[in-house]
Amino acid sequence: MYAFDDEWGPERVFEVYDAKHKVHGVVVIDNTARGPGKGGMRLVPDISTQEVFGLARAMTWKNALADIPFGGAKAGIKADPKKINKEEVLRSFARLLRPVIDAGYYCAGPDMNTAQTEMAWFADELNNRQACTGKPFSMGGLPHELGSTGFGVAQSAKVAMEFTKKPMAGATVAIEGYGNVGTFAHKFLEEMGASVVAISDSKGTAYLPSGMKYKEAMKVKSEKGSVTLYPKAQTMPAPALFGLNVDILIPGARPNVITDANVSDVKAKLVVEAANIPMTPAVEKKLAHKGILVVPDFVANAGGVISSYVEYIGGTEGEMFEMVERKIVNNTRIALERSDGKDVRAAAVSIAQERVRDAMQYRK
């Protein structure tokens, strides 16, 4: 039927269609040995079941490595968000998924073109606050606007710097992408004493060797529309950020930005992947061969899914930040120690697999 299946899953694949609203969607429940399948719900015109499965499998490892009692899952709605009534579509999709949600197979969350408003519609349609996470505060949510992912990235970077026996105070940082993740990574790294010398957005890269302050960068972005207009900063093409001579490089926006074509340009001593799949595992290995430590995405950017778990159990904002710090620090340290800093991704996957396999042995 589909080009996937192995010892881990998927357990269930649900394809649904609402002819009236022309809603065509899919949910892949990859593995629920550790708990309900957890993964975001994306709204894009070219989604495929195979793609959703790949994302669900990534969530199986991510949730296991984060050490939270969720399994892996993912959902996709095939539609152009600019050409539909999003509320009608989200409510229709919720109704179609009621058996999946009620059975405890899946807990949704925000992803591409869905955020707290869409999660509010989804939960309201099902009259079930545990149907999804990332809801507004008014519905008991802990929205990603709190900065849980960027906070976790900063914590992971701190552990990695300690692993290399280098101080965070005074370390220079370049951050690709100045959205939710990049801005909060800037904020928390600055609080740790690091100096963010380069940031980028869709207009380009701003580079200032003396460092750029978080509050000023946010003000410039808000008032002028681009971080490239930061006072006294040199403006460079966006891709130039990856070749800057900094201590820490944080790819935090698009996938596949470090490739065979520019991997030799990377001069950072540490790369912390805030974005999903900013490079392939093969490129990660090339950086490792150059003596560059790479903390992979599902290790460093798990703050969002840990926050989702705290919301799921009714926790507070303070409890969320405490759990994100504790788990990200512990899991980054374990992955670095097991890999000895060489192939951190392989070590992290093996840890996640051990945790899932241990849970699977208790199933009928």
Question: Which residues are known catalytic residues?
Answer: 74
Can you give 24-82 as a three-state secondary structure string? Answer: EEEEEEEECCCCCEECCEEEECCCCHHHHHHHHHHHHHHHHHHCCCCEEEEEEEECCCC
Backbone φ and ψ of 88, nearest 5°:
-60, -45
Beta pairing class for 204-207 and 195-201: antiparallel
Contact predicate 67/351, CB 8 Å:
no
Contact predicate 93/126, CB 8 Å:
no
Contact predicate 254/238, CB 8 Å:
no
Token reading at 46: 């070219």
User: 126: which residues sit within 8 A by CB, 6+ positions away?
Assistant: 94, 95, 98, 101
First vs last C-alpha separation in the chain: 25
